[in-house]
């Protein structure tokens, strides 16, 4: 897990230095650079996880020194790949980094299909003077780029591009869509003009000042290849086998590994299978709480942990921490993020780092593959006509700003509408934003987050199964509950779904009222004040303070903008 940066074309060494300094938190172990004079500058911040030796430092060159790699992420199946490649490549390290480069040299672009991992990488060919870059199937690891004065800039975080001299200008279409529809942008968009992200499952080539982007992962085709007509028990058995293998692969590390746990079904499955395959009962489990019984899942977590006896690290988040922590995490995120739950999550990684646990496993991705949300089987899509019943308050937006908003439209590649909703959440909405939030908070504390439930084999297989394997007699994630019931009591396994929550609504209206008021006041005095109808904004905030707190998302949107303005003014 690391930070990567590069400039292809005309560059100054100080630009690369500034990019690497801005991403230092992503890899504090080693910072190194490579220059192909007049053509290319590559940089890397290393967080050493696999093969801790200096021989695995990056930028990493093959023996011929033709190819140079900078890589962020992990190739979980590197041992298996290395065994296949060893008769064609002379390996000198025990790293997944070298396996990735060898796979590219031997297989070319088709190496991507052989990788099971999370990755964003760039390979410079100093013979042909061209760059090849790629991002993993679901976009777990970030890759941002910008073409500026005929040079190609890339990095793991947006702030690095700004540090290189790319002007920081708001992408008003994305900001307007965020305020009007709660959209965080399409897979290639960011909140900043002239900065693009490479979508998950795509690769990029830059040669002769020309950028070419191609899709390499075709999810719908892979789903269609899955076995047909499996019985419920056959499907369950095959899924469990894949799940166990996925978790095993993600325990490959030369540092301490732990895992995150909440009181829900997904965490119970992760907890059970982490412990069932080997003696992992001494591995730390992490959870957060707020001392609010209306929201905390701590009693459920403690009941689950009692079954496995893992050391449980409980991290407390309190309201008076929110302003300072928001400022830190907003700087890390570069774009609006998901509120107080993300801050609570950040504190887990802070504690893990203190415990010298550098890798944490998490349960992200089960709801999207097993149709775990209520709205998958309900016709309750938000519409602009019903926006007053929605958390998105378009009445506070100035007409000229609202006109720039675009209600996002998503492809529907499947005949079944539930699958289309799952597909949307997986590639366009819930998973992309959660992965971005989570990458930044884990990296803020120089720790690595791994998502075993987002192994592409699991997602493809679950998508292909009949709907009644997923939802049966009104019970969602049915196969998953059947798996969990082998390890935990039914009151845990068949409990209603509980969204992972914090007292955000109450805190913003009471404990943090002064902070919220100050945020809105600063917005009204900023250049971005023209985005809003001032009277409507003040009325909305007053209504919230007076008890209309059914939704706090729009209040958090104002705070996000305020904190972004502070980051910009302090850069």
Active-site amino acid positions? 2
Structure tokens at 149: 């004065």
Strands (E), 181-282: 196-197, 202-207, 210-215, 256-260
Residues 320 and 326: their CA atoms lie apart, in Å, by 11
Q: What is the DSSP letter of 312?
A: E
Contact 61, 43 (CB under 8 A): no
Q: Is the distance from CB of 183 to CB of 39 less than 8 angstroms?
A: no
Write out the two tokens for 481: 């509950």
Asked if residue 152 lies in contact with residue 211, where contact means CB atoms within 8 angstroms, the answer is: yes
Cα(335)–Cα(318) distance, rounded to whole angstroms? Answer: 24
- Rounded CA separation 451/243 (Å): 11
Residue 428 and residue 561 in contact, taking contact as beta carbons nearer than 8 Å: no
What three-state secondary structure class fits 92? coil
If DSSP codes are grouped into helix, strand and coil, which group holds residue 407? coil
| Nearest CA among 182, 451, 115, 226 for reference residue 338 | 182
Judged by DSSP in three states, 258 sits in strand
Q: How far apart are CA 76 and CA 96, in angstroms?
A: 8
* Contact criterion met (CB below 8 Å) for 310 and 275: yes
Stretch (H or E) spanning 132: strand 130-135
Q: Take residue 180 and report the two structure tokens written for it.
A: 């009007």
Whole-angstrom distance, CA of residue 453 vs CA of residue 325: 29
Query: β-strands 144-148, 196-197: how paired?
Result: antiparallel
User: Strand, coil or helix: what is 438?
Assistant: helix
Asked whether 130 and 206 are in contact (CB, 8 A), the reply is: yes
Cross-strand bridge partners of residue 30: 46
DSSP E strands, 150-300: 151-155, 196-197, 202-207, 210-215, 256-260, 285-289
Residue for token digits 């290189």? Answer: 164
Tell me how far apart the alpha carbons of residues 484 and 490 are, in angstroms, rounded to a whole number.
9
Q: Is the peptide bond before 59 cis (omega within 30 degrees of 0)?
A: yes
Whether residue 497 contacts residue 264, with contact meaning beta carbons closer than 8 Å, is answered with yes
Which residue reads 């998901």 in tokens? Answer: 338
According to DSSP, residue 121 is labeled: E
Under DSSP, the state recorded for 500 is -
- CB proximity list for 396: less than 8 A, separation 6 or greater: 179, 532, 533, 536, 537, 540, 554
List residues bridging with 33 in a β-sheet. Answer: 43
């Amino acid at each position: 897990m690391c930070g990567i940066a590069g400039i292809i074309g005309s560059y100054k060494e100080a630009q690369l230095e500034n990019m690497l300094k801005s991403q230092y938190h992503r890899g504090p172990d080693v910072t190194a650079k490579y220059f192909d004079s007049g053509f290319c500058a590559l940089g890397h911040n290393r967080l050493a996880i696999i093969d801790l030796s200096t021989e695995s430092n990056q930028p990493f060159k093959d023996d011929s020194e033709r190819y140079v790699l900078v890589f962020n992420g992990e190739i979980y199946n590197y041992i298996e790949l290395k065994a296949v490649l060893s008769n064609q490549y002379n390996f000198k390290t025990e790293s997944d980094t070298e396996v990735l480069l060898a796979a590219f040299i031997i297989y070319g672009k088709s190496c991507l299909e052989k990788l099971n991992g999370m990755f964003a990488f760039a390979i410079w060919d100093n013979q042909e003077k061209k760059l090849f870059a790629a991002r993993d199937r679901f976009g777990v690891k970030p890759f941002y780029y910008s073409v500026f004065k005929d040079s190609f800039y890339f990095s793991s975080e947006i702030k690095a591009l700004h540090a290189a001299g790319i002007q920081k200008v708001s992408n008003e279409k994305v900001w307007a869509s965020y305020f009007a529809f709660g959209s965080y942008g399409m897979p290639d968009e960011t909140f900043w003009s002239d900065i693009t992200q490479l979508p998950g499952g795509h690769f990029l080539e830059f040669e002769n000042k020309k950028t070419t982007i191609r899709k390499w992962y075709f999810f719908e085709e892979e789903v269609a290849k899955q076995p047909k007509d499996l019985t419920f028990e056959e499907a369950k058995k095959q899924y469990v086998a894949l799940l166990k293998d996925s978790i095993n692969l993600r325990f490959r590390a030369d540092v301490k590994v732990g895992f995150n746990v909440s009181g829900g079904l997904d965490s119970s499955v992760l907890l059970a299978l982490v412990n069932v395959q080997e003696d992992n009962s001494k591995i730390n489990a992490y959870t957060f709480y707020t001392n609010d019984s209306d929201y905390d899942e701590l009693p459920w977590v403690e009941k689950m942990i009692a079954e496995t006896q893992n050391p449980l690290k409980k991290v407390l988040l309190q309201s008076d921490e929110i302003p300072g922590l928001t400022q830190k995490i907003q700087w890390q995120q570069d774009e609006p993020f998901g509120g107080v739950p993300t801050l609570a999550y950040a504190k887990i990684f802070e504690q893990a780092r203190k415990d010298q646990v550098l890798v944490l496993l998490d349960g992200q991705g089960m709801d999207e593959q097993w149709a775990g949300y209520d709205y998958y089987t309900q016709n309750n899509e938000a519409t602009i006509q019903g926006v007053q019943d929605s958390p998105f308050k378009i009445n506070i937006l100035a007409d000229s700003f609202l006109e720039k908003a675009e209600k996002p439209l998503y492809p529907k590649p499947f005949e079944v509408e539930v699958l289309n909703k799952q597909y949307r959440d997986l590639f366009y909405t819930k998973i992309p934003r959660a992965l971005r939030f989570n990458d930044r908070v884990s990296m803020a504390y120089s720790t690595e987050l791994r998502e075993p439930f987002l192994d592409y084999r699991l997602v493809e297989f679950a998508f292909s199964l009949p709907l009644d394997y997923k939802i049966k007699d009104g019970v969602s994630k049915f196969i998953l509950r059947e798996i969990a019931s082998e390890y935990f009591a039914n009151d845990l396994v068949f409990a209603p779904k509980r969204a992972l929550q914090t007292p955000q609504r109450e805190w913003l209206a009471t404990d943090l009222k002064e902070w919220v008021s100050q945020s809105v006041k600063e917005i009204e005095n900023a250049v971005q004040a023209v985005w809003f109808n001032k009277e409507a904004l003040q009325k909305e905030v007053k209504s919230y303070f007076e008890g209309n707190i059914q939704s706090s998302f729009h209040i958090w949107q104002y705070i996000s903008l305020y904190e972004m303005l502070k980051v910009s003014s302090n850069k």
